Structure 1
Amino acid sequence: MSVQPIRLFGDPVLRTPAVPVTTFDAELRKLVADLTDTMHDEGGAGLAAPQLGVSLRVFTYDCDGFEGHIVNPTFDVVGDEEQIGPEGCLSIPGLSWECKRHLHVVAKGWNEHGEPISVEGSELLARCIQHETDHLDGVLFLDRLDAETRKQAMAEIRAAEWFGTPPPVVKVSPHPMFGKTR
């Protein structure tokens, strides 16, 4: 399909909870293809629809040998174990910090055709599922950092050359934006 511009930190769409997908049609399949192409082009492990400015609950992933997408995802935590590791985000390019996540999760949702799916795998995939689901809830991984690390992260973000770049202009989108259609 096509590579799309990624919305950067500061864009309000990244802080707005996405709406559930209700129609599994060609437009959704195009969105999944655009997310996949953009994720691969940017070298990311995952990409959520809000990062392309589309406020729908769908994300793609490609990490640790697991690749796919989930529409209207939820996840269940398996066990009490947690992991701490470096985490970055395509919407906060070139920067990463140590972030705590659950060690094991099982994600459930639907594929682009409306068929139910369940996804589980490596610790890295568990981190990716949690990170991308957060995006769909308007949460950034920065919100999961301890206070001192978050303060350092915000200073580094403000110093980044991309910070303050205006969001790309979307001329026409068939997808809901902030709960409204254009």
Structure 2
Amino acid sequence: MVARKTTCQLTVIPCKNYTHQTKYRLPIAPSPNLPNMKAVYLYPSICLFEGTPVSLGRGTRLPFQVYGHPLMKGYNYQFTPRSLPGAKNPPQLNQRCYGVNLSNLPDEIIWEKGLDLSYVIDAYQNLKMGDHFFKPFFNLLIGTDSVKKLILEGKSADEIKTTWQKDIELFKIQRKPYLLYEE
């Protein structure tokens, strides 16, 4: 109702002993496709494959913790997406995919890297599909068309993330008055 300019009395109660660095483990998996905290932590990076032909592990025991494609070359890891509850028709259904298993990657590395474009860049370079690698949904997922353009130009993950830094710093200033917890 607030969107219709209706007012309400709202009280926000901050959590005690919480900071933005506090690591919290969900007591219950939020989705059949996010079965553990590793999948939750990798989700921002791996979900970008939804905008490509690459499987992100839906229909396996490691959704959002692996990625691959039947035509990816040079990888020993393989998996085959199957129809499962919560993943009835996953990309690359019943096809053997070759790719990368990230399920043993230490959480600290995932946290340090944050959004990691190197996985998408790796698959893009391996499959050699050019612009056909990206579906229109990719730009919606990432929120801009500039990331796709920079990947097509051959930029690295770090080079692409550098292009965001000015906007991130401006946003941090803009949000500061509204933060409930110390950084």
* TM-score, structure 1 normalization: 0.23
Larger strand share, 1 or 2: 1
Structure ranking higher on relative contact order (CA contacts 8 Å, 6+ apart) = 1
**Structure number with higher helix proportion:** 2
